[in-house]
Amino acid sequence: MVKYNRVLLKLSGESLMGDQQYGIDSQRLNDYAEQIKEIANLGVQVGIVIGGGNIFRGLSGAAKGFDRVKGDSMGMLATVINSLALNSALEAIDCKSCVLTAIRMEPIGEFYAKQKALDYLDKGYVTIFSAGTGNPYFTTDTGSSLRGIEMEADVMLKGTRVDGIYTADPEKDPKASKFESITFDEIYNKNLRIMDLTATTMCKENDLSIIVFDMDTKGNLKKVIEGENIGTLVHN
**Candidates 73-81, 92-100, 181-189, 200-208; binding stretch for ligand UDP (CB under 6 A):** 73-81
Contact residue for ligand UDP among 2, 6, 14, 17 (CB under 6 A):
14
Cα 104 from Cα 90, distance rounded (Å): 23
Do residues 33 and 89 touch, judged by C-beta distance below 8 A?
A: yes
Distances 61 to 68, 69, 70, 90, 205 between C-alpha atoms, Å:
7, 10, 9, 31, 31
Q: Which CB atom, from 109 or from 132, has the smaller least distance to ligand UDP?
A: 132
Contact residue for ligand UDP among 47, 58, 164, 231 (CB under 6 A):
58
Cross-strand bridge partners of residue 10: 49, 158
Cα 151 from Cα 138, distance rounded (Å): 19
Q: Which CB atom, from 18 or from 136, has the smaller least distance to ligand UDP?
A: 136
Q: Is 166 annotated as a binding residue?
A: yes
Least Å distance, CB 16 to ligand UDP, is 8
DSSP 81-93: HHHHHHHHHHHHT
Closest to 187 measured CA to CA, from 201, 175, 207, 202:
201
**Quick check: 136 binds ligand UDP (CB under 6 A)?**
yes
Q: Which residues does 52 contact at the CB level (< 8 Å), separation at least 6? A: 13, 75, 76, 77, 78, 79, 81, 82, 132, 140
Cα 117 from Cα 124, distance rounded (Å): 11
Length of the chain: 236
Site string for ligand UDP, 75-114 (x = CB under 6 A): xx-xx-----------------------------------
**Quick check: 148 binds ligand UDP (CB under 6 A)?**
no
Q: Is 172 annotated as a binding residue?
A: no
Contact residue for ligand UDP among 28, 36, 46, 53 (CB under 6 A):
53
**Quick check: 4 binds ligand UDP (CB under 6 A)?**
no
| Binding residues for ligand UDP (CB under 6 A) | 12-14, 51-53, 57-59, 71-72, 75-76, 78-79, 132-133, 135-136, 138-143
Write out the binding residues: 10-13, 52-53, 57, 72, 133-140, 160, 166, 169
Write out the binding residues for UMP: 52, 72, 133-140
